[in-house]
Chain A
Amino acid sequence: MFNYILRRLIQSFFVLLIVMLITFTLPYFQPHGILTPAYGVLGTHANARTIAEWGAQNGMNHPYVVRFWNYLDQVFIHFNLGHSYKQNLSVWNIISLYVPRTIWLALSSLVLTAIIGVPLGMFQAFRRNTVFDYGATGTAFVLYGVPSFLLCLLLLQLFTFSLHWLPASPPTGVAPWAIFTDPVGFILPVLALTLLSLAGLSRFMRGTVLDVLVQDYVRTAKAKGCSNVRMLFRHTFRNALGPIITIMGLYIPLLISGAVIIEDVFNYEGLGIQTLNAASLGDVPTVLGITLLTAILTLLGNLAADVMLGVVNPRIRVEGK
């Protein structure tokens, strides 16, 4: 098991290096290459000499490989994601306050999705081709097809403007624990994100459980007089667990994508809104810093899912040895 985790860690590290190579190289494609921020910083004083000077001061005159090495050093040793010349702050300063808030949003949705989606999909597969199954499958199909921003607008219109039940946005401010002290404002964003991922998960769950339900050992269990509950949880669920964990790991990028839209609609101060602000300001270092952070979060999610998979599925552990 230890070897398996180690191998996955090394793999993730190389993936991270590739992502860093990309985020490092992208600024070279700006209109003036990596010296583009100099034009903003220097303003009217920009001429060939001052720009070259500025470049030298900021270590931009080094060759590509040396700069990449410095970038790695900066990220891994100093945990520095870069410097935003537009806002004259380090990127980490700009986004650090918002990271926990987005993680809370994504995590609570992930937990809710799992708690609702897994039993729902199992029940659908168990009672397949009944009115309940058709209703749930149809709803999931519509939810899956409707663009996320429309679903958010619909929820906002229904619960805030028509029924006046829930506030349109969570309390402003960046306290990461606000989700516990003042949960009412967080209901809509979390609900929206949960509904978005729920559609996919329950559909996937239904298919996976159906695959297991037709297996011979399930029939044998039933023939031996096994109760439905035992058949579902002891025989089916344990065998369907593997694909579910994998897909939950893959949900992390989905949740982060969803968070961008949801934060925008519900004015939820988080990484997504920061990405959008930076993108509309043309603040490239911040955008790339967030991109890198997202990559790290995504990799951690996949890693966690793989480790969990190793825990529940002995075959994978053995293969890793």
Chain B
Amino acid sequence: MSNFPQFSVLEEAILVEKPEAKEPLGILFWICVGWIGLNIVGALFANVLPIENPLFQNYSFINSGPSLHHLFGTDDLGRDILARVIYGSRVSLSVGAGAMVIGFGVGAPLGMLAAYRRGRFDTILTNVMYVLLAFPAIIATIAILSFWTPRSLFKIIVVIGVASIPLVYRVIRTATLSVATKDFIIAAKVQGATDRRIIFRELTPNIAPIAISFLLIGVATVIALEGALAFLGLSVNPPTPSWGNMINEARTILQVNPWLVIFPSAALCLFLLCLNFIGDRLRHHFDVTEVKL
């Protein structure tokens, strides 16, 4: 479609009007990004890294503390905790990534469409989503996983991903609503832009910052949910290591070998805190006000 020159001027004027006094992201932000990156690299290349097999049981080194041979020590079956922590990150990372792909894949388009179209479609969908949102996620996931047996990582990702759809929907819908009533959208409509163009060229770039900062917090939320499921013994089956099930297996022998709980807990906590911190900083950076309920 043709682009009227006066429209692009108008659009620019609106863009320029925004105050550009953004504070820098800060050194802590980049440390967090680095830590997340390190975790991702570790999870991807766990096979290649010079670490032991996480399932190898060495009975002459049981419950040993950190040493040069086993930097994080060994567990009650003589398995290397460092290797298990690194391999364990794979479960958390795939749940975080997979569930958010499902959540954003379904929730984001629905949220945008609902906020853009409004009308009955929006009313019904929003009410349904609020019903789902009002429900305790952990009870729902336990209920579904209890008979969708046998449990596997894939099923856990699907269940958590579906559970995150209403959350994503709400955030994206609210974000779109705040943009969809702005003048430049109305200008584009008056100009005769197609719905497709408005959604992809006008709406999407404007809600992307909100979506990205929420994405990180969403990843942290689903990883914490998977951790909770694993802690309750309802996630991937042992011996596959995950941070949650390592903590679960070790909590009964916490007094005997505290390292066994400390290292996976530290890994999980640091990862979640970094994700939350990055998300929070980005939200401030893009000047997104907290989504009001």
Name A's B-contacting residues (CB within 8 A): 15, 18-19, 23, 26-27, 29-31, 36, 141-142, 144-150, 153, 157, 161, 207, 243, 246-247, 250, 253-254, 256-257, 260-261, 264, 275-276, 278-280, 282-284, 287-288, 290-291, 294-295, 298-299, 302
Q: Is B293 an interface residue (CB 8 A)?
A: yes
Q: Report chain A residues within 8 Å CB of B227.
A: 147, 149
A interface footprint on B105-131 (CB within 8 Å = 1, 0 otherwise) = 000000000000000000000001001
Name 5 A/B residue pairs within 8 A (Cβ), A-sorted. Answer: A15-B131, A147-B224, A149-B228, A282-B149, A294-B135
Interface of chain B: mostly helix, strand, loop or mixed: helix
* Count, chain B residues at interface, CB 8 A: 42
Q: Is B70 an interface residue (CB 8 A)?
A: no
Are A146 and B269 in contact, with the CB atoms below 8 A?
Answer: yes
> Of B4-12, B49-57, B188-196, B247-255, which binds chain A?
B247-255
CB-based nearest A residue for B290: A207
Q: How far is the CA of A29 from the CA of B143 in the complex (A)?
A: 12
Q: Report chain B residues within 8 Å CB of A141.
A: 276-277, 280
Interface of chain A: mostly helix, strand, loop or mixed: helix
Are A150 and B269 in contact, with the CB atoms below 8 A?
Answer: yes
Q: Is B233 an interface residue (CB 8 A)?
A: yes
Are A142 and B224 in contact, with the CB atoms below 8 A?
Answer: no
CB-based nearest B residue for A11: B127
Q: Report chain A residues within 8 Å CB of B82.
A: none
Q: Report chain B residues within 8 Å CB of A250.
A: 134, 293
Q: Is B265 an interface residue (CB 8 A)?
A: yes
Q: Report chain B residues within 8 Å CB of A157.
A: 254
B133 to chain A, nearest CB (A): 8
Q: Report chain A residues within 8 Å CB of B135.
A: 19, 253, 294-295, 298
Q: How far is the CA of A256 from the CA of B134 in the complex (A)?
A: 11
Are B273 and A145 in contact, with the CB atoms below 8 A?
Answer: yes
Q: Is B145 an interface residue (CB 8 A)?
A: yes
Find A243's partner among B134, B224, B292 (CB 8 Å cutoff). B292
The interface centre, meaning the residue of A29, A142, A147, A153 with most chain B CB atoms within 10 A of its CB, is A147
Are A145 and B269 in contact, with the CB atoms below 8 A?
Answer: yes
A116 to chain B, nearest CB (A): 21
Q: Is B203 an interface residue (CB 8 A)?
A: no
New contact pairs (20) apart from A153-B265, A260-B138, A287-B147, CB-CB < 8 Å = A18-B131, A141-B280, A145-B276, A147-B272, A148-B224, A149-B231, A149-B247, A243-B293, A257-B137, A264-B231, A275-B142, A279-B145, A280-B233, A282-B146, A287-B142, A287-B143, A288-B143, A291-B140, A294-B139, A298-B136
> Lowest 6 CB-CB distances: which A-B pairs, in order?
A279-B146, A253-B136, A257-B136, A149-B231, A257-B138, A145-B276
